[in-house]
Amino acid sequence: MKPDTCLLAGFLALCFPLLSWTAAFSRHEVWSSMVTQLEFDNIANVSAFLLDRESGILYLGARDAILAVDTTNKLKFPKIVWNVPEEKSRSCVTKGKTEADCNNYIRLLEFLGDGRIYACGTYAFDPQCAFVNISTFTLEKSEDGTEKMETGKGKCPFEPSQHYTSVMAGGTLYTATTSNFLGTLFDISRATGIEQERIRTERSINWLSDPEFVGSAFIQEDEKSNPTGEDDKIYFFFTEVAKEYDLYTKVKVPRVARVCKSDIGGMKTLQRRWTTFLKAQLVCEDRGSGQRFNILTDVFTKQHRPGDPSSTHFYGIFTSQWEREEMSAVCVYSLEEITKVMDGPFKELKKSCENWMNPEPVPTPRPGQCLNSALKAEGFDSSLKLPDKVLTFMRDHPLMENSVVSAPLLVRSGVTYTKLAVTLAPASNSKLNTTVLHLGTDHGELHRIAVVGPNATVLQEIPLFPPSEPINNILLYKGQALVSSPKSLVKLPTEGCSLYPTCEVCARARPLGCVWKQKEDACSLAITEPGEVMNPEDLVSRCGQSDNHCSTEIQKLYVVEGLHVLLPCVQVSPRPCHWRYPSQRHIRRRLSDLEVRVTLESNGTYECFCEGVGREQPACPGAVYTLLLQSPSASLSIMQTSGRQFVAGYLLFFIFGFAICGLLVCLFHRRRKRRGGGHSSSTSEKGRDLLPSSDTPQSPSSASLFSEAIPFAEKRNGTLNGHGGHVPELKCGYIYANSSGLKLQDTSVNLAEEFPGRERPGPEEEEERIGDGLSEMGDTLVGLEEEFAKLHVLRGAPLAQCEESSI
């Protein structure tokens, strides 16, 4: 056998199992459900959302493009390309901006009501607005054939990542954004309409102090339920640096600001400025722990009674400036509570003592008040007619003394929520409504959480996008949720008991009117008798859990040092879950779950307690785990079967097989030289031609190495596979190695036929010579094994015993 043939055979024999092992661990788990996903080609940074609720067409603003999608038929229209000229992009780069930021990021899409869409983009740090013809889905052109554009300053931010919000009220655009290239000036303004009525906030830190705008809402009064003739109002939500707190660091606070739709500024004081701008602090505080969440990240507006503006509630996502751990909370504020605070006392800073105090007296008519029937009766039918003393007071006192306070509906650790949408459903056998929170995370997941009174239950956690794609929009439409990331869009149902595939999850969805039916093996709407009360705990117990409320099953987990173990715990209340565990620092919270890095001190019991309404922790844990650390010998055994040791073992066999193969080839040539030294090379070639081709292929393929045409020798009862327990003829073999040991595959060679004219030695002499050769080879193998044992990387993977080897 040629040396290269031996080497090829050994290499394939060793690598083939390794490739199979690698493929076995290559699996891709796909979450399959009622989700329709739509990806866009060459589209990135999808940010603006605009839905036509009559036709179901969704318009999307992205980088250098505007898209339209028919959500009903899942059809995509040709996109509108609106990019920046090359010379303008180069000019933007020369001003110190990156090439990526010097594109046109569409940040604003609003219907104008005349068959057009008003679209605004950053346009290489020079905001511009254009008009989209809905019927043709094209940008309107000027007479010279270029896009018809107008300045977008004050309507759209300069930078793609700047915080921004806008709302259309009666065909007029109201925005909250930056108004200069550097991003240091901030305005809340009426951005369109009559030029004389385009007003904005005063450039004062008392009005806006480094704000981060989050959301806005237009509240239109109902003519039938508005006896006082109150004006329509626009609300803005943002986080800013508080000037009323004199601390060693900047303190951020969430705010709500209000302006009136009919406000057109003052005559002398506050010209082209808001005369009705008032703001108040939002407080989202867990009264049980005293923890306050002070950074607002998103707001969703919801009317609890459709058609009644007074029933409007604002749901907000909050995080904490002071917490190192990821944590999110959801608080809700009613329009009634905000109005009450706006009608309360003003906050004032007395320069003499540097303390905030309530100013006295407040002039008449009340500063910041929207026009109503009473003011019009007094002759104040326009903000231009307000007295200077009222406007001066308004300019110096935009902040209210009282705060709008709320307790969290939900607090979760280890997660950052980015977007929020809310649906309401009547609770089963209860006067309270069930609030379903649809929360998007910064890791591309959608969480559904049901809130009934003080209790919150996690219904679903659905991965929609890769972890690198945060959810940046959630829009609810006809029982569907349209959810987007910067690169793609999905549609999935938001209502219906069929969303909950298991009995346990269906039992948690009982407040939504769902019940698990054993016959159908499905979750469906509950049909109950009048006055029947169904306890969710009893429903869960029917799914196979214990009826005893406190009989939590203890789960034993056998672990080894160095592993990372995730202990799950289901959160069932708006307040966070707490863990009791052995004193150690090798832990990390992931949502309500606990990740443990196993060390020598990890033995013990881990208990999860999810708080209810009261301050005290519940007596019964929601989950109990016992970690049992195995002995070092067991640990070593497990580690030897890990991937790293698996590869090291194959490396050992490969090197060992290569060495033995070379040794056998050398022994073969040495014996041939000893037996046939007096013959010429032509004689040797002649002798080789006499070998049967079926027994000694000159260039075997990789497939032939494992076929039945080449028999494998086996060692049985301490002898090589032969005839009568003896080795009949000299055999040259190659090494075949696997995890069980080493094998010699041999091909018979008759020396008498190969070298004619020479007398074949007797059986005893031949057996003695072969025994000497095998003994010499055995000594070499022992020496090689001792040398390999000294290598650090190959330790822990001992050679298998030859007697135990098998194919």
Cα–Cα distances (Å) from 255 to 235, 252, 284, 404, in that order, read: 10, 10, 11, 9
Q: How far is C-alpha 375 from the chain's CA centre?
A: 52
Instruction: Provide the β-strand partners of residue 554.
Output: 624
Q: What is the CATH number of domain 205-381?
A: 2.130.10.10
Q: What CA–CA distances, in Å, run from 31 to 337, 436, 461, 767, 774?
A: 42, 22, 11, 66, 59
Q: Are strands 212-219 and 233-241 parallel, antiparallel or unpaired?
A: antiparallel
Q: For residues 547 and 321, give the distance between their C-alpha atoms in angstroms, rounded to a whole number.
A: 43
Residue 501 Cα distances to 459, 460, 524, angstroms: 11, 10, 10
Q: Which of 192, 209, 190 is nearest to 200 (CA)?
A: 190
SS3 category, 219: strand
Look at residue 807 and give its three-state secondary structure: coil
Domain ranges of the chain: 3-22+646-804, 205-381, 554-639
In this structure, what DSSP letter does residue 200 have? B
pTM of the predicted model over 0.85: no
Q: Are 424 and 435 in contact (CB under 8 A)?
A: yes
Does 205-381 match 554-639 in CATH topology? no
* Calpha distance 595→593 (Å, rounded): 7
pLDDT at residue 673, rounded to an integer = 62
The CA distance from 802 to 784, in Å, is 15
Three-class secondary structure of residue 538 per DSSP: helix
With a CB cutoff of 8 Å and minimum separation 6, the contacts of 766 are 760
Between CA 394 and CA 277 the distance in angstroms is 8
What pLDDT was estimated at residue 712? 38
CB count, 10 Å around CB of 571?
A: 23
Per the CB < 8 A criterion, the answer to whether 269 and 392 are in contact is: yes
233 close to 219: Cβ distance less than 8 angstroms: yes
Query: What pLDDT, on a 0 to 100 scale, did the predictor assign at position 724?
Result: 42
Q: Count Cα atoms within 13 angstroms, Cβ side, for 247.
A: 9
Neighbours of 103 (CB within 10 A): 20
Distances (CA, A) of 549 to 503, 541, 546, 574, 626: 18, 9, 7, 20, 20
Element (H, E) at 150: strand 149-151
User: Residue 607 in 3-state DSSP?
Assistant: strand
How many Å apart are CA 784 and CA 313, to the nearest integer? Answer: 79
What are φ and ψ of residue 796, in 5° steps?
90, 5
Residues of the chain with pLDDT under 50: 1-33, 351-352, 528-533, 545-549, 613-617, 634-643, 677-761, 763, 766-767, 770, 774, 788, 791-807
Evaluated on CA atoms 777, 780, 781, 782, the torsion sign reads positive
The pLDDT, as a whole number, for residue 742 is: 38
Structure tokens at 81: 């390309």
Separation CA 273–CA 339 (nearest Å): 22
Question: What distances in angstroms separate CA 370 from CA 75, 192, 266, 383, 601, one per listed residue?
Answer: 45, 21, 13, 9, 65
pLDDT at 248: 73
Residue-level pLDDT at 748: 40
Task: Could you please state the CATH topology (level 3) that the domain comprising 554-639 is classified under.
Answer: Immunoglobulin-like (2.60.40)
Give the Cα separation of 380 and 220 in Å (integer). 21
pLDDT for 661: 73
CA 164 distance to own-chain centroid: 23
Q: Is 570 helix (H, G, I), strand (E, B) or coil?
A: coil
Distance set, CA 36 to CA 43, 479, 785 (Å): 18, 14, 59
Distances (CA, A) of 107 to 45, 216, 481, 596: 10, 15, 21, 43
